[in-house]
Amino acid sequence: MSEIQKFLFDGLPVRGAIVRVDSPWQEVLTRRANNSETGAYPAGLSRVLGEMTAAGLLMQSNIHFDGALVLQIQGDGPVRLAVAEVKSDLRFRATATIAPSQQDKIAADATLKDMFNVHGQGRCAITLDADEKHPSYQPYQGIVSLMDEDGNTLPSLSEILQQYMRLSEQLDTVLIVAANETVAAGLLIQRIPVKGEGNLAGAQANTEEQDVLGHNEDFNRIATLAHSLAEQELLELDSDTILRRLFWQETLSRVDTQGREPHFGCQCDRERVSNMLRGLGQEEVSDMLEGDKPIEVGCEFCGAQYHFDAVDVAQIFSAPATNQNLQDGHQLH
């Protein structure tokens, strides 16, 4: 079962979310495996991509934002790019690009360093791209390196994202994600300011100082419990069991997730691909036509194939452009 649950710790300025995705995650892997251009992901890479998907779902569910949250790792090693994109309704897609002839060289137990940070140039980027765009709109983007302060590659995506949150939001956050070939799952725990809208549980404090002290003690206790969650537990147990095991001494209130459920979905369509071709220019696109063979454009996210013959190409360059943005993730073959 795929689900996301959000919750508050009663009387404490701490909130959380837990996500578990099975068949929609398997669909991402199956579509890739069925793509004759790429073949299946190496196990080490599918694990990271699943972790990115779980993290993206948790982060998207944790903000009030209409648009796409895009988590990317740009690599300097055998994996050039890994992308997980989650829309506000928890529709997600994910893909990765492997450098030419490197597919077979990525070991099943490859680390983040092996795949993305061979020369220390790997980067993790989080982008918020709103649905409603004004002409001057710039998406928000935060970027962090994959290394700690001592120059060592961080061992897991969880630690990279925790570092990101520490450096950007300054909200104490625990983020634990795990994935395998069947499940992508994660747990997020976050300290929230006691004053303001986060104060749903009515926590009271006499002075500012006590307020701050109280926060930290409560958050630290819950964070320690969260950190005791083992990867295997996250992958194998259902969400209710995990929450009960970790937080049986705490009182949790569920937050309505408004029926939102993680599901796979790709936004590619023929019009977007046409716009992408239009952006390349008529000369270049006409050169791609070889005799009677149509141009084939494959979507890296879902594997859909779009074909354009000479008539289609002529039409693209005679019709007025629509105002959709150019989409990446399309590969010309």
Interface with Zn ion (CB under 5 A):
266, 268, 299, 301-302, 304
- Which of 96/165 has CB closer to Zn ion? 96
Q: What six digits make up the tokens of 123?
A: 């980067």
Q: How far is the CB of 98 from Zn ion (least distance, A)?
A: 18
* Torsion sign over Cα 298, 299, 300, 301: negative
Q: What is the dihedral of CA 29, 89, 174, 163, to 10 degrees?
A: 80
Nearest-approach distance from CB 271 to Zn ion, in angstroms: 13
Supply the minimum distance, in Å, between the C-beta of residue 78 and Zn ion: 24
Q: Which is nearer to Zn ion, 8 or 302 (CB)?
A: 302
The smaller minimum CB distance to Zn ion, of residues 189 and 266, is found at 266
Give the nearest distance from C-beta 228 to Zn ion in angstroms: 39
Of 229, 263, 230, residue with least CA distance to 246: 229
Identify the DSSP state of 143.
Answer: E
Written in H, E and C, the secondary structure of 175-198 is: EEEEECCCCEEEEEEEECCCCCCC
Say how far apart CA 22 and CA 179 lie, in whole Å: 10
Counting DSSP H helices and E strands in the chain, the numbers are 10, 14
- Comparing CB distances to Zn ion, the nearer of 268 and 285 is 268
What the block records as the tokens of 71 is 């988590």
Question: 154 or 297, CB closer to Zn ion?
Answer: 297
Distances (CA, A) of 274 to 81, 303, 314, 316, 319: 24, 17, 11, 6, 10
Query: Least CB distance from residue 79 to Zn ion, whole Å?
Result: 20
Q: Which residue lies nearer to Zn ion by CB, 98 or 266?
A: 266
Rounded to whole angstroms, the Cα distance separating 277 from 274 reads: 5
Q: How far is the CB of 277 from Zn ion (least distance, A)?
A: 15
